[in-house]
Amino acid sequence: PSTRIVVHPSYVVGEIDRRIFGSFVEHLGRAVYTGIYEPGHETADEQGFRQDVADLTNELGTTVVRYPGGNFVSNYFWEDGVGPREERPTRIDLAWRTLEPNTVGTDEFLAWTKKTGTEPVMAVNLGTRGADAAANLVEYCNIPGGTTWSEKRRANGADEPYAIKTWCLGNEMDGPWQIGHKTADEYGTIASQALQAMRRVDPTIEFVVCGSSSRDMVTFGEWERIVLEHTFDDADYLSMHAYYEEHDGDRVSFLASAAAFEAFMHEVIATADAVAARKHSTKRLKLSVDEWNVWYLSRFAGEENLELLEQPRLIEDVYSVLDAVVAGDLLATLVRNADRVAIACLAQLVNVIAPIMTEPGGEAWKQTTFYPIALTAEHARGVTLDARIEAPTLTTGKYGDVDGVASTITWDAETGSLVAILSNRTDAASETTIDASAFSGLTLVDAQTIIADHAGPRKTREDAEAATPKALDGVSVDGGIVSLTLPAESWSLVRFT
Ligand code: AHR
């Protein structure tokens, strides 16, 4: 089975928004406590943040970080997490049934984003609260001073406003599991009210409205339509969440996850554009795919009657090399749709379905999924090109026929770097040519690959290092025609100049 790809620098999908390489830190399990924050750890800084985790966050190429949830945000009282620590209450987090000490709150998280050079994407509680609490939080964060909440921030040690640009209006409000779950009409109304109030506080901020928490929701499609009828003119981004796992040993469908992910994205975009048409609007909403990943959600089922603990080990999925191949394909799909995807957050960053794991008091290490994500964030720059592909067909039980090979080609005119991210979802090697003859004097810089195996999750750091990308041998370039062989069930990144 062979694959043929054609690219030309004039045919561009869109500029890659660096926010596509975002991540997510929720008050969930050990994401915050013993994740990003662990005073007393040998690498902790004077604020209690683990330097080893901050370093890995940088190495991962993380740009924006969504916070504080997730399901957690839907009953979060942000005021609990600011001010003198000894006065902060311990609460029951109803989302994950965990004791929340509020030791880390808004100011601490924003100090961590400063430390890591990341940009916050802040979510507000529209489950159990509304416009009032949301507008006050914008005032606390973004107003320089001279008002009740901005002066409280200054008194709490942050003299300068944080100038948070992007705000998520609630989280997964379509989900019956969500505290304060709402119908699309109810959510559209409260989201619109909160948005208006928040914008009065700071007219420069941007808003993400909640789309569906998965394509499997019975309300999918109708939810987006109704929510956008309420918010279309004011919203900047529409969210979607997508998680994939291997069900019942159906490896073939699992390998095709990114094809399903792309189809889902196109459906959400079509729905947003249909609302635009009804409104006679030329506005084209962009997506905030603010939760995506491989997540063995089915393993979590049954863990719902949780004992009330502080920083429990929750949803600490351990990934295989196959998971890394699929995660790499998912991220490449986000980059391929650069014209409509503005923000994307890998869910999550540390310990909870995460590329970075920690041991309390011990080391931090990279899971298998770390490698394709870090490589893509580092090298996929500039614009995505509108590459045309003829690929072998992969027949799946779950998604029907999909492309067996997927390609994402990026071009950075400033540095002259052409990058091909290639996923072979089939169980046979694919002889592949890329016609890049429109790029003069093309030469190979580097070719790396991750090849799936049949071993299970990689439980230790040493074990996970098996997914370290290896050199992809046999890549040749002749007059701009690239020839290479993509190994079966692999993810590869090939760079040219
Ligand atoms: O990322 C884990 C959880 O998945 C989030 O809290 C929620 O938004 C989603 O269901």
Q: Give residue-wise pLDDT tens across range 53-65.
A: 999 999 999 999 9
Q: How far is the CA of 182 from the centre of ligand 1 (A)?
A: 16
pLDDT at res. 14 = 98
Nearest-atom index, ligand 1, CA of 241: 9
Q: Give the residue among 244, 258, 387, 257 at the shortest CA–CA distance from 319.
A: 244
* 369, 237: one domain: yes
Gap between the Cα atoms of 219 and 224, Å rounded: 9
Pairing outcome for strands 383-385 and 405-412? antiparallel
Nearest-atom index, ligand 1, CA of 172: 8
For ligand 1, atom 1, the nearest C-alpha belongs to 347
- The CA-atom distances, in angstroms, between 487 and each of 136, 249, 395, 433, 455 are 54, 21, 18, 14, 17
* 285, 335: one domain: yes
* 42, 123: one domain: yes
Provide the strand spans (E) within 250-304: 286-294
Nearest-atom index, ligand 1, CA of 28: 6
For ligand 1, atom 9, the nearest C-alpha belongs to 70
Looking at 178-218, list the stretches that DSSP marks H as alpha helix, in order from N- to C-terminal side: 184-201
* pLDDT, mean of residues 138-165: 98
For ligand 1, atom 8, the nearest C-alpha belongs to 70
pLDDT at res. 305 = 67
Supply the range of the domain harboring residue 277: 17-381
* 117, 262: one domain: yes
Provide the domain count of the chain: 2
Tens of pLDDT, residue by residue over 210-243, are: 999 999 999 999 999 999 999 999 999 999 999 9
Tens of pLDDT, residue by residue over 329-386, are: 999 999 999 999 999 999 999 999 999 999 999 999 999 999 999 999 999 999 999 9
CATH code at position 322:
3.20.20.80
* 355, 393: one domain: no
pLDDT at res. 302 = 56
Tens of pLDDT, residue by residue over 271-281, are: 999 999 999 99
* 257, 286: one domain: yes
Domain boundary among 360, 381, 402: 381
Candidates 97, 171, 214, 306: which one to mutate for ligand 1, based on the most atoms within 8 Å of Cβ? 171
Return the residue matching tokens 């970075």: 356
Whether the model clears a pTM of 0.90, i.e. scores above it, the answer is: yes
% of residues, the chain, pLDDT over 70: 99
Mean per-residue pLDDT over the chain, rounded: 97
The residue type found at 450 is: I
Tens of pLDDT, residue by residue over 190-202, are: 999 999 999 999 9
Q: How far is the CA of 105 from the centre of ligand 1 (A)?
A: 19
Gap between the Cα atoms of 326 and 372, Å rounded: 9
* 56, 136: one domain: yes
For ligand 1, atom 7, the nearest C-alpha belongs to 70
* 334, 409: one domain: no
Q: How far is the CA of 463 from the centre of ligand 1 (A)?
A: 27
Q: How far is the CA of 74 from the centre of ligand 1 (A)?
A: 11
Candidates 96, 125, 168, 291: which one to mutate for ligand 1, based on the most atoms within 8 Å of Cβ? 291
* 186, 262: one domain: yes
* 402, 279: one domain: no
Give the count of alpha carbons within 13 A of 389, CB side only. Answer: 24
pLDDT at res. 497 = 97
* 362, 436: one domain: no
CATH code at position 458:
2.60.40.1180
Three-class SS state of 433: strand
Residues counted in the chain: 497
Residue 117 near residue 60 (C-beta atoms within 8 A): no
pLDDT at res. 394 = 98
Nearest-atom index, ligand 1, CA of 293: 1
Q: How far is the CA of 137 from the centre of ligand 1 (A)?
A: 22
Residues 288-307 as b/e (b if ≥16 CB within 10 A, e otherwise) read bbbbbbbbbeeeeeeeeeee
Gap between the Cα atoms of 497 and 74, Å rounded: 47
For ligand 1, atom 5, the nearest C-alpha belongs to 70
Tens of pLDDT, residue by residue over 283-320, are: 999 999 999 999 998 877 655 667 899 999 999 999 99
Domain boundary among 329, 361, 381: 381
Residue 184 near residue 226 (C-beta atoms within 8 A): yes
* pLDDT, mean of residues 149-162: 98
Residues 101, 301, 365, CA angle at the centre, nearest 5°?
60
Tens of pLDDT, residue by residue over 401-453, are: 999 999 999 999 999 999 999 999 999 999 999 999 999 999 999 999 999 99
Pairing outcome for strands 490-496 and 430-435? unpaired
Q: How far is CA 333 from the centre of its chain?
A: 12
Q: How far is the CA of 388 from the centre of ligand 1 (A)?
A: 35
Candidates 241, 303, 346: which one to mutate for ligand 1, based on the most atoms within 8 Å of Cβ? 241
Enumerate residues lining ligand 1, CB below 6 A: 26, 69-71, 171-172, 213, 291, 347-348
* pLDDT, mean of residues 486-495: 98
% of residues, the chain, pLDDT over 90: 95
Residue 100 near residue 75 (C-beta atoms within 8 A): no
Domain boundary among 335, 357, 381: 381
Q: How far is CA 272 from the centre of its chain?
A: 20
Candidates 24, 67, 172, 351: which one to mutate for ligand 1, based on the most atoms within 8 Å of Cβ? 172
Candidates 24, 26, 178, 300: which one to mutate for ligand 1, based on the most atoms within 8 Å of Cβ? 26
Gap between the Cα atoms of 419 and 438, Å rounded: 15
Q: How far is the CA of 70 from the centre of ligand 1 (A)?
A: 5
Q: Give the residue among 451, 454, 456, 475 at the shortest CA–CA distance from 326.
A: 451
For ligand 1, atom 2, the nearest C-alpha belongs to 70
* 396, 354: one domain: no
Active-site residue set:
172, 291
Nearest-atom index, ligand 1, CA of 213: 10
Q: How far is the CA of 159 from the centre of ligand 1 (A)?
A: 33
Return the residue matching tokens 């830190």: 25
Q: How far is the CA of 71 from the centre of ligand 1 (A)?
A: 6
